[in-house]
C-alpha cells in the first residue's frame, strides 16, 4: 500500500492506493494521540456532509486496519449537519461546549477505554473577616425560596483553567467589590447528583480583606454588607442546617487559632513537568505566607 499526502475537496487528507492501483480513498486529516487513538483535526473537515460521510467511513476502515483504538471527533457549530452522519457511523456524544460538540468512536471489539466526560463542577465560597470581627455577606437576587432573606458568604463557580484560590478572590471581588488576599482552604464539601447528574466540589476559602468599600454586582446580588460575626451565626437558616452550621463552626475555629486549613504551594512534578497547586497543612510555627512558593517533587 502506498500513502500520498494531498489536498482534495477543501480538506487535507491522505490518499491510500494499493500496489495494483485499486481502492483509492481518502482519510480525514488527523493525528495520533498517546494512547493509540486518533484525534481528527476540526479545522480541516470537509465542507459538505455527503463528502464527510464518505471520507469518515473510509477513515474508520483505515484506522481499524492500522490497529487504532479511540477516535475523537470535534464538530464546530458550523459543522452541526455532520452530527447525524457521525451518529449513523456509530459515534457517540462525549461532551459539548458553547462552540462545539465532541464525539467519540471506539474501534476494538472490547470494552471502551476512553475517559468519560468531566464528572464534577467546582465551586468556591469566600469567608472574609475584617479587623472588626465582621464577616462579608451577600443576599442573592435569584435563589431557592427557602434561602430568601439569608445572608450568606459570596460564592460562585471556578472558571476553566482557573485556580481555586484565584477563583475565590475573583468571586468576592465580582459580587462585592472587595479586594482580598487568599489565606487558606478551610474545608470543602463533596455532593453528588447536584446539576445534570454531575457531582459538586465546593471549597470554603479564608480570605483577608485589603479594601473595605462594598460595590455590589446588581445583576446577581441583591445586597452586601459587613455583618457582625455573632449576628451572622445566629441566623435561623444557619442554625437550622447541619451543613451550614458545621462550615461556620470550622471558620470560627480558624479565627480562634484552633484549626488550620490548607495553604497553597506551587509545585512541579517530574511525572508531567507541569506547575500545579498543592494544598497542604503546615504543622510547625514557621507558617509560610499566602504567596505560592515553588519546589520540585
Work out how many domains the chain is built from and give that number.
Answer: 3
> Domain check: are 7 and 100 in the same one?
yes
Tell me the per-residue pLDDT of 69-113, one tens digit each, with 9 for 90 and over. Answer: 999 999 999 999 999 999 999 999 999 999 999 999 999 999 999
> Domain check: are 243 and 276 in the same one?
no
Residue 227, SS3 per DSSP? strand
What is the residue range of 144's domain?
120-255
Which residue is associated with the grid cell 497547586? 277
Tell me the per-residue pLDDT of 253-292, one tens digit each, with 9 for 90 and over. Answer: 999 999 999 999 999 988 888 899 999 987 655 554 544 4
> Domain check: are 270 and 248 in the same one?
no
Whole-number Å distance between alpha carbons of 207 and 133: 13
106, 139, 171 - which closes a domain = 106
- Residues whose CB is less than 8 angstroms from the CB of residue 6 and which lie 6 or more positions away in sequence, other chains included: 12, 13, 14, 15, 26
| Torsion of the alpha carbons at 2, 86, 52 and 73, rounded to the nearest 10 | -70
Tell me the per-residue pLDDT of 141-193, one tens digit each, with 9 for 90 and over. Answer: 887 777 788 899 999 999 988 999 999 999 999 999 999 999 999 999 999 99
Residue 72 lies in a domain: yes
Question: What Rg value do the Cα atoms of the chain yield, rounded?
Answer: 26
Residue 26 lies in a domain: yes
Highest mean pLDDT among 11-15, 202-206, 246-250: 202-206
Closest CA to 72 of 100, 53, 109, 51: 100
Residue 135 lies in a domain: yes
Amino acid at each position: 500500500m502506498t500513502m500520498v499526502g494531498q489536498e482534495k475537496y477543501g480538506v487535507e487528507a491522505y490518499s491510500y492506493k494499493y500496489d495494483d492501483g485499486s481502492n483509492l480513498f481518502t482519510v480525514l486529516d488527523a493525528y495520533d494521540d498517546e494512547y493509540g487513538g486518533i484525534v481528527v483535526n476540526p479545522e480541516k473537515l470537509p465542507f459538505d456532509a455527503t463528502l464527510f460521510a464518505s471520507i469518515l467511513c473510509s477513515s474508520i476502515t483505515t484506522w481499524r486496519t492500522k490497529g487504532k483504538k479511540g477516535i475523537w471527533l470535534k464538530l464546530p457549530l458550523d459543522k452541526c449537519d455532520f452530527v447525524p452522519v457521525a451518529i449513523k457511523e456509530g459515534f457517540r456524544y462525549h461532551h459539548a461546549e458553547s462552540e462545539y460538540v465532541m464525539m467519540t468512536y471506539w474501534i476494538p471489539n472490547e470494552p471502551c477505554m476512553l475517559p468519560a466526560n468531566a464528572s464534577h463542577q467546582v465551586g468556591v465560597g469566600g469567608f472574609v473577616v475584617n479587623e472588626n470581627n465582621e464577616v462579608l455577606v451577600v443576599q442573592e437576587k435569584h435563589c431557592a425560596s427557602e434561602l430568601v432573606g439569608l445572608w450568606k458568604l459570596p460564592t460562585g463557580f471556578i472558571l476553566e483553567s482557573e485556580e481555586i484560590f484565584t477563583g475565590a478572590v475573583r468571586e468576592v471581588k465580582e459580587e462585592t467589590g472587595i479586594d482580598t488576599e487568599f489565606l487558606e482552604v478551610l474545608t470543602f464539601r463533596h455532593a453528588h447528583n447536584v446539576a445534570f447528574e454531575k457531582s459538586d466540589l465546593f471549597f470554603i476559602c479564608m480570605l483577608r480583606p485589603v479594601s473595605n468599600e462594598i460595590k455590589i454586582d446588581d445583576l446577581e446580588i441583591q445586597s452586601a454588607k459587613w455583618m457582625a460575626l455573632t449576628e451572622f451565626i445566629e441566623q435561623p437558616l444557619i442554625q437550622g442546617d447541619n451543613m451550614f452550621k458545621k462550615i461556620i463552626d470550622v471558620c470560627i475555629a480558624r479565627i480562634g487559632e484552633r484549626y488550620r486549613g490548607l495553604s497553597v504551594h506551587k509545585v512541579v512534578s517530574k511525572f508531567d513537568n507541569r506547575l500545579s497547586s498543592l494544598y497542604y497543612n503546615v504543622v510547625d510555627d514557621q507558617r509560610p505566607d499566602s504567596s505560592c512558593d515553588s519546589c520540585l517533587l
